[in-house]
Amino acid sequence: MRKNKWIALFLIILGQVSGNVFAEQVTVGEISGIVMLNKDGVFVKVGTGMELEVGDQVYVLENSSALLLQGNDCAARLNSNELFKLDKSDLCAQNSNTINSQGPKLVAAIGLDEPTSDSGDAGSNTELPEDQQSGTEGGRVFSGLAAKLAVPATLTGAVLFSTIAGGGGVGAISPE
């Protein structure tokens, strides 16, 4: 009984270790614009085909994008102004470890194979929300200010001209 426990523990550890050791390399598939890589404090410009290691930080500058690939069934699209840190060797298992609030949009296949039910961990292909900053709705109405500029419904010359007045003799004429 005690022996079985040790075997089970050994298998679990082996599974974890082999998962890390045999995971395929994460590479930069395609780049648009300027993408920088911070490798242990040294910044370099990212080029296509560059390999990433755990701990690397990818900075996608304004109006730029990058596609990270791992094997044939995992890809991550990094968008403009996004900072991505590769925390795990398994790119598609990392969707909860993104630095930027936008997160990488993990797409199982971008120009590659369609995702299939047996392609691995279903959760790993979860798409994170679109750019959250563009969803800024709401606000306040300052009704007093609206009245300052909107010409009142009832036509009165004085009010109308006071709207556009500010000199030039316009305000000197009174309809009364």
Q: Is-contact 37 44, C-beta < 8 A?
A: yes
The count of chain residues that interact with another protein, using the rule CB under 8 A, is 49
Tell which one of 16, 25, 32, 63 touches another protein (CB under 8 A).
Answer: 63
**What's the min distance (Å) between Cβ of 35 and another protein?**
11
- 98 part of the interface to another protein, by CB under 8 A: no
Considering only residues 119-148, where is the footprint of another protein by CB under 8 A?
133-134, 136-142, 145-146, 148
- 25 part of the interface to another protein, by CB under 8 A: no
Neighbours of 141 (CB within 10 A): 7
With the C-alpha atoms ordered 10, 11, 15, 21, is the resulting torsion angle positive or negative?
Answer: positive
Query: Which residues in 57-119 belong to E strands, given as ranges?
Result: 57-60, 65-70, 74-78, 82-85, 105-107
- 59 part of the interface to another protein, by CB under 8 A: yes
CA 75 – CA 124 distance, rounded (Å)? 11
Q: Which of the ranges 2-10, 41-49, 106-114, 116-124 carries the binding residues for another protein, by CB under 8 A?
A: 41-49
Q: Which two tokens stand for residue 1?
A: 């009984």
- 36 part of the interface to another protein, by CB under 8 A: yes
Tell which one of 7, 15, 41, 114 touches another protein (CB under 8 A).
Answer: 41
Question: Which residues bind to another protein, rule: CB under 8 A?
Answer: 34, 36, 38, 40-43, 45, 59, 61-63, 81-83, 85, 99-100, 133-134, 136-142, 145-146, 148-151, 153-155, 157, 160-161, 163-166, 168, 170, 172-175
